[in-house]
Amino acid sequence: MYLQLSETGPFPRRTHTCGSLGLDDADKRVVLQGWLVHKGKVNKKMSFFGIRDSYGTTQLVVDARKCGADVLAAMREASEESTVLIEGIVTQRPESQRRDVPAGHVEVLVSSFKLLNPADRNMPFMPFDIQNLANEDLRLRYRYLDLRRTELTSNLKKRSEVAFLVRSTLHEQGFTEVETPMLLNSTPEGAREYLVPTRVKQSSSDTAPQALFYALSQSPQQPKQLLVASGAVDRYFQLARCFRDEDGRKDRQPEFTQVDLEMAWVSWGKERAAGEPSSQSDPDPWRIGGHEVRDIVETIIRRIWKKIENVELEDRFRVMTYNQAMGRYGSDKPDLRFGLEIQDITSHLPQPLREAMEANGEILEALVVTNVAEHTPFVRAASEIEGDKSIERLQVAPSASSSWLSQSRIAEEILSVTTPALEAFELNSTLGLAEGGIVWLSRRPRRPEGGWTALGRLRLALAEAAQRRGDLVLGDEPQFLWVTEFPLFTRADEDKEFLAHGRWSSSHHPFTAPMSEDIEKMYAGKVEEVRGQHYDLVLNGVEIGGGSVRVHDAAMQEYIFAKILQLDEQEQSSFNHLLHALRCGAPPHGGFAFGFDRLMAILCKTSSIRDVIAFPKTAAGSDLLFKSPSPSTAEVLAQYALRPL
Amino acid sequence: MYLQLSETGPFPRRTHTCGSLGLDDADKRVVLQGWLVHKGKVNKKMSFFGIRDSYGTTQLVVDARKCGADVLAAMREASEESTVLIEGIVTQRPESQRRDVPAGHVEVLVSSFKLLNPADRNMPFMPFDIQNLANEDLRLRYRYLDLRRTELTSNLKKRSEVAFLVRSTLHEQGFTEVETPMLLNSTPEGAREYLVPTRVKQSSSDTAPQALFYALSQSPQQPKQLLVASGAVDRYFQLARCFRDEDGRKDRQPEFTQVDLEMAWVSWGKERAAGEPSSQSDPDPWRIGGHEVRDIVETIIRRIWKKIENVELEDRFRVMTYNQAMGRYGSDKPDLRFGLEIQDITSHLPQPLREAMEANGEILEALVVTNVAEHTPFVRAASEIEGDKSIERLQVAPSASSSWLSQSRIAEEILSVTTPALEAFELNSTLGLAEGGIVWLSRRPRRPEGGWTALGRLRLALAEAAQRRGDLVLGDEPQFLWVTEFPLFTRADEDKEFLAHGRWSSSHHPFTAPMSEDIEKMYAGKVEEVRGQHYDLVLNGVEIGGGSVRVHDAAMQEYIFAKILQLDEQEQSSFNHLLHALRCGAPPHGGFAFGFDRLMAILCKTSSIRDVIAFPKTAAGSDLLFKSPSPSTAEVLAQYALRPL
């Protein structure tokens, strides 16, 4: 019953992969191992099979008169997806039958056959039946079957290739890969982190055992800053596994991979040559420090796109300030593959309206779809999209093309009276508006906040609708963009409010340096005016990475903690080691990190990061294959000085 | 008070590293950034300083008449270990003063100076004061200071270099690096694993919330087998972080790194060419399968030793069976850098003794130190080492050189009577024993068990004592050795007894395949006679890695689980996904893993793996820098449906 000795005993070594055979191998004796494929094509003399491995499929020809009837019988009897070993002679296929796929020019005349491992005849699904793809939960449960699918196989290989390319590039550039701890300290709030209880140590004291915890690293931010502060390496990188408890966020995984780098001795302002005065006017739109980081990141990205996509990216990626991005595209990660820019129309408004807005510190923005050629893809979409309730949608009437502003609810709200006489002549000319044109209006504070404006979301909704209708086809050319000069502090981030409790939060993290020009403002308490030396890298409207020049001055860092973020003593104490490291002569430093899973999903042209991870978890954090998470017992928990609630 | 604007404002970009300057750079204007070193040498005209980065130190010459007195004053005032920026001109040092270190041929005449970040004048210790190294706890607490020490800096760089070399080699050999989950399923016993509680999901049901846990991956064993079973990649590797709760084990870390690989289509027996009959006699001492894995591992190791040590290792590493290693060296990881072999003297014993031993299934072993040249290093050590209480130490008397056996307590125990007439003539000749020689005797069952025999430990103790005395100097040449043909099952492993409860355990893990020759014995219930297709790689007496050919036959794997290991249903169910993967046509496969921290410690010639890890924990698992583990609050624990005990 158990014994399958013939299948598990010794067998000859594989001499070739199934996908590697070519015309050069003709007449060679080969040993192939792979999965058996039934071809079902049989004539009186010859039977055909395939043998597949991860490199390709070789056609097998079986002539029972030559190899014996038992070989043919055994092959027929073996189920599909069984692993088998065949020995045979490579022969050229007739020229008419050659195909341009791996091993497509040859076939192998089988001389012997061995069943290495039979596949169950009732598998949950057949992985190559991609016309009838099983539902995702079933495929995740039997991931070892689904991974046979060519798409997933090639995603994993591409991921490995890109990771190696990143490492090669960084090694060439003098970077040292350093592994930082994944078992780190837990924070008092425990936000988003995973705790790891530790077993209670046997102690001679009589005090009650206390549960103690590590926390899984959410990112290597603090270790890498300490490392670079140490001076042990001045160029650090790591492909780091990170852990974040973000249940319910779409397409996130509890564990994910980050390409993380940090450099010492980064610059702190506009690029200039040694000795050149810093006051010289400079057209470089990158007006913050961290040029060294920018150079490296662009090099990595260019090499990836060259190797994987065979695309030569521009020498320098575009740069835009946060204010520009929010103003023109209504987003801090604008998609530049289409136009449809937002316009600030405040200065073109009739005087009473303009003055009222300026008095409020507000602006009026407009997005317009009219009958010019570049708007054509959006015309049909415009008819279906309203925008959220803060947005007003108006259409220019055929008969009275300058009267639409008079009908504006927003204008009325601003002026607090109905104003029938708001002529829009100047606006129509500025916006290129004409009869039938559609205009969406939105008022907002002059200083943008957060990641989106109302019109920014509308712009994206219009483009999505236009794509769905087939009116808009986005170009293949990737649109990379740096966004810089973010506000250093914010009160507009809901995610951070959980910990901030109404205080200022850091827009990115509390270690980001202010722009040199804004340091005095910061110490003067003009918190909202301070811009940070932060840079986000955006691709086609997706933020693929970000980083910053860090504060290296302990006094400045302490000021930020205590005076701006108003951390209490306990909160501050969790940064004591970092402050002390700064006090020990830390060099100026800065870094960058990009999400590797998201980048790979883009390169593999899939919308789900689960398609680029070998063994992913569901959106709810369940691993359907390994059956985790799962309960434990009171007995086990007691070892950690814990018990069920 | 907070404002240090001058230190944090913009500054020119670094043009050179301190260690890279050479004669070619003479007369160049350079910008250097690094740590200030006070040289203390001042004459009337010139002052000297150093500037250090992780590449080396450049000598700075300050001539106050040229650069201004304020520059000199600022440099004198700046504390050691402050980070500074200097601009200046490279000049050649007088030939007599040139030194063969990085930047040792030049110095820089300073023109301007900027303090980038002042170092505290009261640092916990000065990292370069290696004569007065602070105690390890203090250095771990301020690891960012200790890492400045050249030894640690160069260890981290070497680690990065070796990791990249491993990856490069495996990529060249067609391996795919695949990241496997670190958040895996917990096992019912929870042995050695770290649990990771998950936050309770908001659920509409009224049932009490239940705590659910992931467990941190102890090794990628199961994911990698499933991956290779899937066929997505036939050559997998990963530099994998692993987590094991092994409190109290010397020189272990809660998290460590493993170079992990697995290959599909591995051979299952002695190497032979396609078509060659398997019965042919073969002098290859590697008589198990997995040749493909052996080839790769030897290639990696050879490339590391070539690159890092500039040593050409032998084409094939030595191979020894477990029985040979235990017999000759009394260890399953023998140190071959010295001889002093153990001998089985049973067949040379006087007849009554020999027959009594054979009847018991026992052997008598001897280790001898006598007056031959090769024993000279051990003579003084032999006089101080007794061996444990199971060992008998006898000395050959000057007057009656063949009577020592008659005085043996062990011989008396075996025969259960005093036997004055046990002549040792034949033994003396076999062992080369002469007057004054020392012989240690030990009896043991003929079939060795576990990792050591009593004489094996004695052999090592002798060598250690001889080294301490300076009598034995071990060669530099690394002694690599494969040990194969381990018993597949054991009852002698104390570590495993915790889970085995008196049942058989797998010597390595339950997925290791039996040797083809022993499969029938296994099914016949001769469990103790079955040898596994396992291979350990040993270097100078240290096991640096191990692996095996796996079971790919689901029926065989089930037989091992149920009939040999006698796992109960719950225990078996945790392997269900693996069994099912085998049933879906898994290819024959095998792999290997080596401990990367241990390997790096060997290459960095340090006895502590903490010296090759950027931020290590203490032996007790504490992180003195990040202050972990630490307590949590009842409020936080409640989110996981947990509370303190």
Residues 1-60 of chain A with CB under 8 A from chain B are 1-5, 7-15, 17, 29-31, 33-35, 53-54
Of B35, B234, B630, the CB nearest to A53: B234
Q: Is the peptide bond before B629 cis (omega within 30 degrees of 0)?
A: yes
Which stretches does DSSP call E strand in A230-294?
Answer: 235-243, 255-264
User: Between chains, do B232 and A584 touch, taking CB under 8 Å as contact?
Assistant: no
Spell out which residues of chain A touch residue B630, defining contact as CB-CB under 8 Å: 185-186, 212-213
CB contact A275 to B (< 8 Å): yes
Which stretches does DSSP call E strand in A311-457?
Answer: 318-321, 343-344, 362-369, 392-395, 438-445
In the sheet that holds B183-185, the strands lie side by side as B183-185, B212-216, B195-198
Spell out which residues of chain B touch residue A613, defining contact as CB-CB under 8 Å: 179
More confidently predicted of A449 and A204: A449
User: Between chains, do A628 and B214 touch, taking CB under 8 Å as contact?
Assistant: yes
At A309-358, the pLDDT tens digits run 999 999 999 999 999 999 999 999 999 999 999 999 999 998 889 999 99
Distances (CA, A) of B641 to A642, B195, B509, B614: 10, 14, 34, 35
- Are A396 and A434 spatial neighbours (Cβ–Cβ below 8 Å)? yes
- Are B252 and B616 spatial neighbours (Cβ–Cβ below 8 Å)? no
CA distance A22 to A4: 35
Q: How far is B346 from chain A (nearest CA, A)?
A: 36
Give the residue from chain A lying closest to B187, CA to CA.
A632
Residue A299 confidence (pLDDT) above 50:
yes
Residue A402 confidence (pLDDT) above 90:
no
CB contact B432 to A (< 8 Å): no
- Determine which helix (DSSP H) or strand (DSSP E) holds B27, and give its type and residue range: none
Number of Cβ pairs closer than 8 Å across A and B? 496
Stretch B392-406: mean pLDDT: 85
At B142-175, the pLDDT tens digits run 999 999 999 999 999 999 999 999 999 999 999 9
Query: What's the CATH code, domain A5-117?
Result: 2.40.50.140
ipTM of this complex: 0.93
Stretch B455-478: mean pLDDT: 94
Residues 78-137 of chain B with CB under 8 A from chain A are 79, 81-83, 87, 116-120, 123
Spell out which residues of chain A touch residue B35, defining contact as CB-CB under 8 Å: 231, 585
CA distance B455 to B448: 12
Three-state secondary structure of A10-29: CCCCCCCCHHHCCHHHCCCE
Distances (CA, A) of A45 to A72, B285, B632: 11, 45, 75
Mutate which: B284, B615, B617, B623, vs A, most A CBs within 10 A: B615
Stretch A617-645: mean pLDDT: 92
Residue A602 confidence (pLDDT) above 90:
yes
- In this prediction, residue A140 carries a pLDDT of 96
Query: What fold is seen in the domain A155-184+216-273+289-321+476-613?
Result: BirA Bifunctional Protein; domain 2 (3.30.930)
- In this prediction, residue B2 carries a pLDDT of 38
- Are B535 and B482 spatial neighbours (Cβ–Cβ below 8 Å)? yes
CB contact A212 to B (< 8 Å): yes
Spell out which residues of chain A touch residue B587, defining contact as CB-CB under 8 Å: 33-34, 83, 116-117
CB contact A179 to B (< 8 Å): yes
Sorting pLDDT into bands at 50, 70 and 90, what band is A271? low
CA distance A127 to B165: 36
Q: How far is A344 from chain B (nearest CA, A)?
A: 33
Give the residue from chain A lying closest to B513, CA to CA.
A8
- In this prediction, residue A571 carries a pLDDT of 86
> Average pLDDT of chain B?
90
Give the residue from chain B lying closest to A613, CA to CA.
B179
Sorting pLDDT into bands at 50, 70 and 90, what band is A385? confident
**Residues sharing a CB contact under 8 Å with residue A429, sequence separation 6 or more, in sequence order:** none
Q: Using DSSP bridges, classify how beta strands B106-117 and B56-63 pair: parallel, antiparallel or unpaired.
A: parallel
CA distance A462 to A467: 9
Q: How far is CA A473 from the centre of its chain?
A: 22
At B366-396, the pLDDT tens digits run 999 998 899 999 999 998 888 888 999 999 8
Of B160, B196, B630, the CB nearest to A176: B160
Give the residue from chain A lying closest to B12, CA to CA.
A274
Q: How far is B461 from chain A (nearest CA, A)?
A: 31
CB contact B605 to A (< 8 Å): no
Of A243, A558, A642, the CB nearest to B645: A642
Sorting pLDDT into bands at 50, 70 and 90, what band is B205? low
Give the residue from chain B lying closest to A30, CA to CA.
B274
Q: How many residues does chain B have?
A: 645
More confidently predicted of B418 and B616: B616
Q: Which two tokens stand for residue A493?
A: 């981030």
Measured over all CA atoms, what is the biggest interatomic distance in chain A, rounded to whole angstroms?
99
CA distance A168 to A163: 9
Spell out which residues of chain B touch residue A282, defining contact as CB-CB under 8 Å: none
Q: Which two tokens stand for residue A497?
A: 């409010």
pTM for this predicted structure:
0.94
Q: What is the dihedral of CA A610, A616, A619, A625, to 10 degrees?
A: 130
Residues 456-475 of chain A with CB under 8 A from chain B are none
Give the residue from chain A lying closest to B227, CA to CA.
A144
At B595-615, the pLDDT tens digits run 999 999 999 999 999 999 999
- DSSP, res B290: -
Q: How far is CA A295 from the centre of its chain?
A: 20
Residue B282 confidence (pLDDT) above 70:
no
Q: Which two tokens stand for residue B11?
A: 């500054």
CB contact B291 to A (< 8 Å): yes
Terminal Cα distance for chain A, rounded: 48
Of A157, A199, A639, the CB nearest to B233: A157
Of B4, B177, B623, the CB nearest to A181: B623
Which stretches does DSSP call E strand in A340-445?
Answer: 343-344, 362-369, 392-395, 438-445
At B61-103, the pLDDT tens digits run 999 888 888 999 999 999 999 999 999 999 999 999 899 999 9
CB contact B265 to A (< 8 Å): yes
Spell out which residues of chain A touch residue B2, defining contact as CB-CB under 8 Å: 523, 555-556, 558-559, 563
CB contact B581 to A (< 8 Å): yes
CB contact B153 to A (< 8 Å): yes
Residue B401 confidence (pLDDT) above 90:
no
Q: Which amino acid is it at A30?
A: V
Residue B397 confidence (pLDDT) above 90:
no
Spell out which residues of chain B touch residue A139, defining contact as CB-CB under 8 Å: none
- Are B88 and B58 spatial neighbours (Cβ–Cβ below 8 Å)? no
A385: left (phi over 0), alpha (psi -120 to 50) or beta: beta
At A350-372, the pLDDT tens digits run 888 999 999 999 999 999 999 88
User: Between chains, do A195 and B197 touch, taking CB under 8 Å as contact?
Assistant: yes
Stretch A437-462: mean pLDDT: 95
User: Between chains, do A231 and B276 touch, taking CB under 8 Å as contact?
Assistant: no
Percent of chain A with pLDDT over 70: 92
Stretch B354-365: mean pLDDT: 93
Around A447, how many Cα atoms within 13 Å sit in the side-chain half-sphere? Answer: 14
CB contact A190 to B (< 8 Å): yes
Domains B5-117 and B338-474 share a fold: no
User: Between chains, do A226 and B615 touch, taking CB under 8 Å as contact?
Assistant: yes
Residue A498 confidence (pLDDT) above 70:
no
Spell out which residues of chain A touch residue B228, defining contact as CB-CB under 8 Å: none
Spell out which residues of chain B touch residue A269, defining contact as CB-CB under 8 Å: 9-11
Domain extent listing, chain A = 5-117, 155-184+216-273+289-321+476-613, 338-474
CA distance B503 to B433: 44
CB contact A585 to B (< 8 Å): yes
Spell out which residues of chain B touch residue A19, defining contact as CB-CB under 8 Å: none
B135: left (phi over 0), alpha (psi -120 to 50) or beta: beta
1.20.1070, 3.30.1370, 3.40.50, 3.30.1360: which CATH number matches B338-474?
3.30.1360
- DSSP, res B309: I
Of B177, B276, B621, the CB nearest to A198: B621
- Are B365 and B342 spatial neighbours (Cβ–Cβ below 8 Å)? yes
Least confident of A332-341, A390-399, B178-187, B530-539: A390-399
Stretch A422-442: mean pLDDT: 88
Q: How far is B129 from chain A (nearest CA, A)?
A: 15
